[in-house]
Every structure is written in structure tokens, then in C-alpha cells.
Amino acid sequence: MEWLKYIALPFGIAFAATPFVMWISKHIDAYAKINERTIHTRKNIGRIGGVAIYVAFLISMTCFMKSDTQINGILIGASIMFFGGLIDDLINLSPKKKFAFQIVASLIVMFYGKIMLDKIFLPFGVVIDMGLVSYLVTFFWLTGITNAINLIDGLDGLACGLCLIILVVIASLSLIDNRPDIMLISLILVGALAAFLIFNFYPAKIFLGDCGALFLGFMIATISLIGFKSSTFITLGVPILMCGVPIVDTLSAIIRRKLSGRKIDEADKNHLHHLLMRRFGHKNTVLILYAVTICAGIVAYVYILNQKLGLIMLFLGLLASEIFLEKTHMIASWFHPMTSIVSFFKSKKEIKDEEFE
């Protein structure tokens, strides 16, 4: 039960720090803005909650983790990402300036921390040496997952809860793969998130803000690269599976905005959580997306135990996601390739049946 201390300390710090951050938010007017793009209607909700998580993480890492170049690279990169988000929460940076922080943080992790995805291990023993392309893939992985988590932060407790579930799964898999360093970092974040979720779950008393969402997304992207080298499915596949909700949401938003001639960073209310909320309500939508993420974690475990069965489950999950995108018109009303194929074969069968009669 020694691992409990890695959760207990950050939990206690975050639980004590969150009300203090809420108090600070009031005195510096760091409130979430209410406009046509937001879901919440309550006033004076602090939007710098990520400060409590970051402080709990930093103190706990100092207490439990031995410093080396890789750990220092992660801490420096994550800190840059956090402070970039915090500045944006306070004074609203332009998208280009926000991305500049992400570029610097990613480069520090890659070149100072020496964290790279140099090889891809595919199922059935296939190994691909990435070469120079590894720099590009690693960069887009770090910035992509970071922004995916940030974009899904649209409902009370959604991003925080999804990150909590993702990190629990990564911690469990790291125990199986004998990576105590990954497990320790993951558990520290789990403890901080569990405490913060008490205040952040619907109806939220405080929000993560960009400082929290960007920090968490960057940490999940980074720790998924520092181990599990024997399997790219675990290195990349698990985060992709577990981040399936924000990844699908992000890619759909990019395609949707491009097709409609709008800017990629232009906000709208057609995200996945918006569509679900219109039908199921705020709290139920968050719980549904929690359940989807837990199911993705189960698929990851099944893959480790039975590779073929895991791949079958993954295929079925992707198929269900495609049908959902088409039925909800999440990308566009005319986008329905899968259902069009099904309708085509169905009509051909009906024609043959009529000819037979």
C-alpha cells in the first residue's frame, strides 16, 4: 500500500490549495467569461484552478521523485506550458502566442529531456525505425494531445475527470510494464486531480482554465512517451484510445470549420459534449463521456492479454465512432460515407428481392 502516499500528499495539497485559488480568483478578477460560446451561466467562477493542481504536482514531485535530465526536461516543459496557459487565463493571449509557448515546451522536452518517439512497434512484431521523422511525429504528438485535452474542457468536471481516468490506466499499465517512474508521476497527478474534481464537478465552483488543461494535456502526452518502448500500442495506442473523446472532437472540429470556410481556432457549439448535452443534460453528458473513456481503458487491458481480441474490439469501437459522427452530423450534414455504403448494399438487395419475386 506504499503507493497510497503518492496519491495522499498531492490530494491533501490540492484540496487545501483549491479554496485559496478560488479566493485569489475573486481578488484579481480571474473569472470565466460568460458569452455566446460558453455553457455555464453562473457568475464569478474562477478560471485558474490549474494553479492548485500544478502546485500540488510540483511539491509532490520534489518530495518523491529523484531529479535527472529527463525529469528536469518534463518539469521545465510542463511549467512553460502551465505559465503560458496562466497568462492566457489572465490577459487572453492570441492563438499564435499560445502556440509559441507550446513550441518552446515541446522542444525542451525533445532536446533537453531527450524524450523522442524513435521507433514504432506495431502489432505482430513489426518495427519501424522513424529516423529524422521522429522529431516531427514527437512534436505533433505533444502539441496535438495537449490541445485535444484543452478543447474538451467545455463542461464542468469533463476534462479533469477524463484526465483522471486516463492517468489511472497509465499508472496501472506502468505497474504491469515495470515502470515505477511513470506510475509515480501518474499517481501524483491522480491525487491532485481527485481533490480538484470535488470542486470542479457539476455544478463547478472553479474551472481548470487553460493553465490546468494545457498542463494536464502536456503531461499525459509526455509521460506516454517516456516508457513502454516495447509496445507502441501502449506508448501511443493507450493515450489515443483514452483520449479518444477529445481527439475525435478535435479532428471533427478542424474538418467542420475547414469545410464551412471558418478559421480552425474559431469556437463553436458543435463539439461532442455540446451535442450530447442537448439531449442528455450537463451532468449525464459528463458521466457518459467518463464511461466511454473507461471502456477505452478496458480495450487497452484486453489488448495486453489477447492482442487479436483487443484489435477486434478496437475496430468495433472505431466503427461505432464513425457511425456516431455521421448520425449526429458532427462534421457536416452531408458527411455519411459509412451509412451511404450500407444504404447502397441495402437498396441493391431490395432490387434483387423484387426481381426474384
Q: Between 50 and 44, where is the model more confident?
A: 50
Question: Exposure string (b/e) for 300-309, b if CB count within 10 Å is 16 or more?
Answer: bebbeeeeee
The per-residue pLDDT for 356 is 57
The lowest-confidence range among 256-260, 265-269, 318-322, 331-335 is 331-335
- pLDDT confidence band for 133 (50 / 70 / 90): confident
Q: Between 134 and 19, where is the model more confident?
A: 19
The answer to whether the CB of 60 falls within 8 A of the CB of 185 is: no
Q: DSSP character for 269? A: S
The per-residue pLDDT for 113 is 93
- pLDDT confidence band for 293 (50 / 70 / 90): confident
What is the model's pTM? 0.82
Partners of 120 in beta bridges: 128
CA distances from residue 356 to 18, 347, 352 in whole angstroms, order as listed: 71, 14, 6
The separation between the first and the last C-alpha atoms of the chain, rounded to the nearest angstrom, is 71
Identify the CA nearest to 163 among candidates 246, 65, 273.
246
The per-residue pLDDT for 230 is 47
